[in-house]
Amino acid sequence: MASDLISQIASLYFRGRIEEMNDYRLNASDIQSEQLFNLLREAEGTTLSKKYDFRSIVSYQEFRERVPLLSAETIKPFIQRIENGEINVLWPGLPKRIFPSFDETRIPISDQAIAETFIQGIYDGYAIHLRLHPESRLFGGFFLTVGNDPELPLIDELDQFLKGNEPFINSLLNIPKHIGTKQQLAEINASQLIKEIGPNKISCFKGTPKALEQLINATRNEDGTLASFLTDAELLFHKTTMPSSLLKEMKQAVNLPIPIQSAYCSPEGFVGIQDNPGDDSFMLMLDLSTFYEFIPTDGTDTQPMPLEDVEVNSDYQLVLTNCSGLWRYLSDGPKLRFVSVKPYRFLLV
């Protein structure tokens, strides 16, 4: 009963958040405008703000005309200044860490982004699952990390970083309790893992479908049945940067007894969640202290456009402004192809 009660309380706690996400359908433009101006106001004391006078920017058009794009190359001098100990360069204070991202680009991640972007995105994944499954016992068991093979190494590093900075109460649910700097399943001995699990209930997994399949096969009983710790799990939470076509192939290639909820998440931010088990697309997360712009990849326009101007079935390079201090940053990650605008949903290409 206690485990059911905890999950029921969590469902009530997340109810307001579900209503906010439902608002994505009709008020996306207003939500994004609020994100932009919140970021501009919070960054007013920074070097970049003083250079481009953030305080006087009162419209998106002024923001677009006044603040130049940042790329992997043009962000380097700012990163060097931060590493030299200079504060308030791109965002107030110093970032929590300078983090490796796509193509070995190094970008900042702030304490604020940990809480408002990444941890909130993780919580949103929980909220969506509880909405879809009112009888869920998600918080009545432990969350088992199985590894991130074959995702990019940056996902391993990001996972480890977020686990080291999550609220203490969250960490109590994690198994294994201690992993090295990498989380590939090859580095986790299955027998040691089972010993740590002991009699505890596992309510969900975190990692990739392939890594979970490997764990299932490594721990299967002699008669072919699943190990007892696998029988109560409800789903797999999966952070990914894979193109949607490859992700779909991987999901189809494995034979998992539970559903998979994938999220497009990288050091650049927590951008989207697959909120519908029957839909391969990601719902764009509009209010995680991030403002989005988009550049068409077909060459028709070289300037970023706001969210309301994107078109279905067109591909875009993502441009992010966020509370880590990325200002109009040209993402080096996969391109986005929108398949819906109410709410905004996309595939990775």
Q: What is the pLDDT of residues 188-228, one digit of tens each?
A: 567 778 888 989 999 999 999 999 999 999 888 889 888 88
Q: Is residue 289 part of a domain?
A: no
Q: Is residue 43 part of a domain?
A: no
Q: Is residue 61 part of a domain?
A: no
Summarize pLDDT for 218-262 with one digit per residue, the tens. Answer: 888 889 888 888 999 999 999 999 999 999 999 999 989 999 999
The domain in which residue 137 lies consists of 2-19+96-284+331-348
Mean pLDDT of 7-29: 96
Residue 255: the pLDDT is 85
Mean pLDDT of 337-344: 97
Residue 318: the pLDDT is 98
Q: Is residue 85 part of a domain?
A: no
Residues 6 or more apart whose Cβ sits within 8 Å of residue 340: 281, 312
The total domain count for the chain is: 1
pLDDT of residue 10 exceeding 70: yes
Q: Is residue 177 part of a domain?
A: yes
Q: Is residue 121 part of a domain?
A: yes
Q: Is residue 133 part of a domain?
A: yes
Summarize pLDDT for 34-59 with one digit per residue, the tens. Answer: 999 999 999 999 999 999 999 999 99
pLDDT of residue 5 exceeding 50: yes
Q: Is residue 321 part of a domain?
A: no
Summarize pLDDT for 168-179 with one digit per residue, the tens. Answer: 988 999 998 765
